[in-house]
């Protein structure tokens, strides 16, 4: 195989293939080249069997030959410590995001950050209710300040329980309390992992996992949920923004073809929407547009990468340039005047790559600087002017543009913005918004079950090659798919987020429901922190059954015919998300590989034992069709337990079916 064919094999998405070829012609190194240079990966690292927690090590376990580290630590201890440290890393990232949002939220309520406001009063009151904050006779700003303070104090809380735990089904809360894994405070659980995994502390893998579980719950039902809820109140809940007349999902476009040849292209990348929201506002400012015209551009074109992209998509319809592995390819188009990054999932390679093009790589967070990038501090207290300064830098860079290679006409349509509130509204209507039609359609078998398919891309697997076939097979088998993160961007690129997809690719039952309601069979719910929306949606499905026993799907999330997947995961955040889903009672399948293979005892606990303890459990399966099979089998098992099974064959979504669809 030629070098060129090898590189094409790195992407399932043809737009990316073209740009990978362009980079190769220009002799430019990309993520796939570095991945290839790193293989074969160190086996100790892959299996989680390497410990470098003290300077008597690093210690590596070779089963049967070298079973202990210098201190006597076993494979089970070493693998568990590494795994829970991954949870701590992921939970810290999401939660620090949530903290930044909470601080800004308080300032917005006090009127200290011009440009930010309290938009969604309905949601504010709901969240205030959870925090037991008085709302009667108070202004939205007064309520918001109390909500912000209540949320912020949960990061440093030392005792008691974080409040959003009370939103989970009662049975779930009881399981957590009996196990002693209810988070006391968000930061406390993360710090305790770092303490317990220090040399010579917690050396019992099951006990380590209890703390891993508590920290993961502090992420999903804590930091991530705070980020989602407060962002919605400040920026508007997707699909249900601050006005009944404006309830709608947003149409947009996806893939690198959204870059414009005749406009100043600014790509926002990272995770926190505090800055990108202001960039959206400033990009429409007449002063900025006039400036763009002066340098010969026909306007300013915003697009996003990764979860910052998802945030501005679901609230403003800003197009998605691409997912995680496409960040370098955006620069390879030669058409990006500025790539503006905040935190998380930003590759350091962008700095070297930007030297090959005219693109200015602009870091904006004090927490995330990159040598070689231009740092323009984003000051929330002067947000609009900070955003304008960044946009001005991009505009001034437009005349420096050289040859461009935009894959024009290659963008795909999508609709997005399926927050839990919008799904509620779509299913039940304005006056009786409810999940009851969803439960009803599951009970009568039109919808087989629900799967949350989320997570990253990973340079160790062909870009998008696991996400797309998995999702296609799930919907062909009447499984409604809800998505976040880079996986959502992948499905959008494959055209799966268009309402027409239901008739073309979904099974007959799911297609009928989607056509009746007017939704695609694959719903874009937002960014990584918005996985908390899926927790609330699952809880709502349980609650519907409490209101009407004929619509019951059990007493707990673990009773639902539902599952989760991260087919091409790569980050610590994905592990934290996966574990809070498992701890919430969800069967969760990861692709690529799993970082606990060095310990049979720990892997058995996660993959089997947890079913009896937590109701949810992990699985790992790199093959998309086998992964779909695991998810569908699990959904069928839950349907059977609920007494709502019905004979149905699994549709195997093979290449022939895919070819036929393409011909049609
Ligand atoms: Fe080795 Fe134990 Fe030190 Fe880890 S903590 S590096 S296993 S001696
Ligand atoms: S951005 S964590 S690569 S989903 Fe949320 Fe994508 Fe994974 Fe980052």
Which ligand is in closest contact with the Cα of 484? 2
- CA torsion through residues 129, 130, 134, 137, sign: negative
Q: What are phi and psi of 453, to 5 degrees?
A: -110, 115
Nearest atom of ligand 1 to the alpha carbon of 199: 5
CA 135 to centroid of ligand 2, rounded, Å: 36
Best of 96, 345, 534 for a ligand 2 pocket test (most atoms within 8 Å of beta carbon) = 345
Report pLDDT for 417. 87
Regions of the chain short of the pLDDT cut 70: 1-8, 240-247, 428-433, 647-650, 652-664
The DSSP result for 308-367, as a single string, is HHHHHHHHH-PPEEE-GGGHHHHHHTT--SEEEE-SSS--THHHHHHTTSSPEEEE-BTT
| Nearest CA, atom 5, ligand 1 | 199
CA 197 to centroid of ligand 1, rounded, Å: 11
73 C-beta closer than 6 A to ligand 1: yes
Q: CATH number for the 75-235 domain, one of 3.40.605.10, 1.20.1270.30, 3.40.50.300, 3.30.1780.10?
A: 1.20.1270.30
Sequence-separated (6 or more) residues with CB below 8 Å from residue 167: 130, 221, 536, 539
CA gyration radius, the chain: 24
**Burial of 650: CB neighbours in 10 Å, binned 0-12, 13-18, 19+:** middle
492/40 Cα distance (integer angstroms) = 32
Helix, strand, coil shares of the chain as percentages rounded to 5?
55, 10, 35
Best of 70, 78, 79 for a ligand 1 pocket test (most atoms within 8 Å of beta carbon) = 70
180/176 Cα distance (integer angstroms) = 6
CA distances from 349 to 352, 411, 453 (A): 5, 25, 28
The pLDDT tens digits for 295-348 are 999 999 999 999 999 999 999 999 999 999 999 999 999 999 999 999 999 999
The CATH architecture assigned to 415-660 reads 3-Layer(aba) Sandwich (3.40)
The pLDDT tens digits for 572-604 are 999 999 999 999 999 999 999 999 999 999 999
233 C-beta closer than 6 A to ligand 1: no
Q: Which two tokens stand for residue 523?
A: 């719903």
624/604 Cα distance (integer angstroms) = 22
User: In 458-608, which ranges are continuous DSSP H helix?
Assistant: 467-476, 485-493, 501-505, 508-517, 531-547, 572-583, 600-604
Classified as helix, coil or strand, 197 is coil
CA 66 to centroid of ligand 1, rounded, Å: 13
Report pLDDT for 10. 87
CATH class of the domain comprising 256-400 = alpha beta
Q: Which two tokens stand for residue 115?
A: 């440009």
Do residues 19 and 333 touch, judged by C-beta distance below 8 A?
Answer: yes
Q: Which two tokens stand for residue 557?
A: 């999330």
CA 348 to centroid of ligand 2, rounded, Å: 15
Which ligand is in closest contact with the Cα of 55? 1
Which ligand is in closest contact with the Cα of 531? 2
**Burial of 243: CB neighbours in 10 Å, binned 0-12, 13-18, 19+:** exposed
49 C-beta closer than 6 A to ligand 1: no
Do residues 536 and 513 touch, judged by C-beta distance below 8 A?
Answer: no
Q: What are phi and psi of 189, to 5 degrees?
A: -70, -35
Long-range contact set of residues 607-611: C-beta below 8 Å, sequence gap at least 24: 610/582
**124, 247, 228, 606 alpha-carbon torsion, rounded to 10°:** 130
Sequence-separated (6 or more) residues with CB below 8 Å from residue 183: 161, 162, 165, 189, 214, 215, 217, 218, 221, 222
The pLDDT tens digits for 126-175 are 999 999 999 999 999 999 999 999 999 999 999 999 999 999 999 999 99
57 C-beta closer than 6 A to ligand 1: yes
CA 242 to centroid of ligand 2, rounded, Å: 28
Quickly tell me which residue has 């196990």 as its tokens.
Answer: 179
| Nearest CA, atom 3, ligand 2 | 456
Residue of 584, 587, 565 whose CA lies nearest to 490: 565
Report pLDDT for 432. 58
Domain boundaries, the chain: 4-60, 75-235, 256-400, 415-660
pTM of the model: 0.95
256-400 has the same fold as 75-235: no
Sequence-separated (6 or more) residues with CB below 8 Å from residue 17: 8, 11
Report pLDDT for 628. 98
> What is the distance between the terminal CA atoms of the chain, rounded to a whole angstrom?
32
Sequence-separated (6 or more) residues with CB below 8 Å from residue 231: 101, 273, 311, 529
Report pLDDT for 215. 98
CA 578 to centroid of ligand 1, rounded, Å: 27
Nearest atom of ligand 2 to the alpha carbon of 306: 1
User: In 567-608, which ranges are continuous DSSP H helix?
Assistant: 572-583, 600-604
Within 6 A (CB) of ligand 2 lie 271, 306-307, 324, 345, 455-456, 485-486, 527-528, 571, 573-574
199 C-beta closer than 6 A to ligand 1: yes
């Amino acid at each position: 195989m030629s070098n060129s064919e090898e590189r094409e094999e790195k992407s399932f998405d043809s737009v990316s293939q073209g740009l990978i070829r362009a980079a190769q012609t220009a002799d430019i190194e990309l993520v796939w080249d570095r991945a290839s240079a790193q293989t074969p990966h160190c086996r100790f690292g892959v299996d989680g069997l390497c410990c470098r927690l003290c300077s008597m090590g690093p210690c590596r376990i070779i089963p049967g030959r070298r079973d202990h580290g210098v201190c006597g630590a076993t494979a089970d201890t070493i693998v568990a410590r590494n795994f829970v440290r991954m949870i701590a890393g992921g939970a810290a990232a999401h939660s620090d995001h949530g903290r930044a949002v909470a601080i800004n939220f308080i300032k917005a309520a006090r009127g200290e950050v011009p440009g930010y406001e309290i938009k969604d009063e309905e949601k504010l009151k709901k969240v205030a209710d959870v925090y037991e904050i008085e709302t009667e006779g108070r202004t939205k700003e007064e309520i918001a300040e109390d909500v912000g303070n209540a949320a912020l104090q949960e990061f440093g809380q030392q005792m008691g329980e974080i409040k959003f735990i009370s939103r989970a089904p009662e049975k779930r809360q009881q399981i957590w309390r009996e196990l002693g894994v209810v988070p006391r405070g968000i930061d406390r659980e993360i710090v305790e992992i770092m303490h317990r995994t220090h040399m010579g502390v917690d050396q019992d893998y099951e006990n380590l996992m209890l703390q891993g579980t508590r920290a993961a719950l502090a992420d999903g039902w804590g930091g991530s949920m705070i980020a989602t809820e407060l962002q919605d109140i400040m920026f508007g809940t997707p699909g249900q923004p601050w006005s009944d007349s404006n309830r709608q999902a947003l149409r947009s476009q996806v893939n690198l073809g959204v870059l414009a040849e005749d406009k100043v292209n600014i790509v926002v990348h990272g995770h926190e929407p505090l800055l990108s929201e202001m960039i959206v506002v400033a990009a429409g400012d007449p002063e900025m547009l006039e400036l763009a015209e002066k340098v010969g551009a026909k306007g300013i074109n915003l697009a996003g990468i990764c979860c910052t992209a998802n945030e501005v998509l679901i609230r403003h319809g800003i197009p998605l340039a691409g997912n995680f592995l496409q960040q370098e390819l955006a620069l390879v188009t030669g058409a990006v005047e500025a790539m503006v990054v905040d935190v998380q999932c930003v590759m350091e390679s962008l700095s070297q790559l930007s030297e090959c093009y005219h693109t200015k790589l602009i870091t904006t967070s004090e927490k995330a600087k990159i040598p070689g990038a231009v740092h323009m501090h984003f000051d929330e207290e002067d947000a609009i002017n900070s955003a304008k300064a960044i946009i001005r830098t991009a505009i001034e860079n437009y005349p420096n543009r050289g040859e461009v290679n935009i894959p024009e006409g290659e963008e795909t349509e999508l609709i997005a913005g399926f927050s839990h509130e919008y799904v509620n509204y779509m299913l039940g209507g304005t006056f009786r918004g409810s999940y009851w039609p969803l439960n009803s359609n599951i009970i009568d078998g039109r919808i087989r079950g629900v799967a949350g398919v989320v997570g990253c891309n990973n340079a160790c697997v062909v870009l998008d090659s696991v996400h797309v076939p998995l999702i296609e097979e799930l919907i062909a088998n009447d499984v409604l798919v809800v998505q976040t993160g880079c996986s959502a961007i992948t499905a959008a690129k494959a055209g799966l987020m268009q309402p027409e997809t239901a008739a073309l690719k979904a099974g007959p039952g799911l297609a009928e429901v989607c056509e009746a309601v007017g939704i695609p069979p694959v719903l874009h719910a937002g960014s990584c922190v918005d996985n908390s929306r899926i927790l609330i949606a699952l809880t709502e499905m349980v609650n519907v059954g409490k209101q009407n026993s004929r619509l019951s799907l059990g007493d707990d999330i673990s009773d639902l015919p539902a599952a989760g997947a991260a087919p091409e995961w790569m980050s610590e955040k994905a592990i934290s998300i996966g574990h809070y889903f498992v701890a919430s009672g969800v069967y969760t399948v990861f692709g690529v590989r799993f970082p606990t293979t060095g310990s049979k005892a720990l892997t058995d606990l996660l993959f089997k034992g947890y079913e009896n303890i937590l109701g949810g459990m992990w699985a790992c399966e790199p093959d998309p069709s086998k992964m779909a099979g695991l998810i569908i089998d699990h959904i069928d098992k839950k349907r059977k337990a609920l007494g709502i099974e019905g004979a149905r064959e699994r549709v195997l979504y093979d290449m022939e079916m895919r070819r036929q669809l393409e011909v049609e």
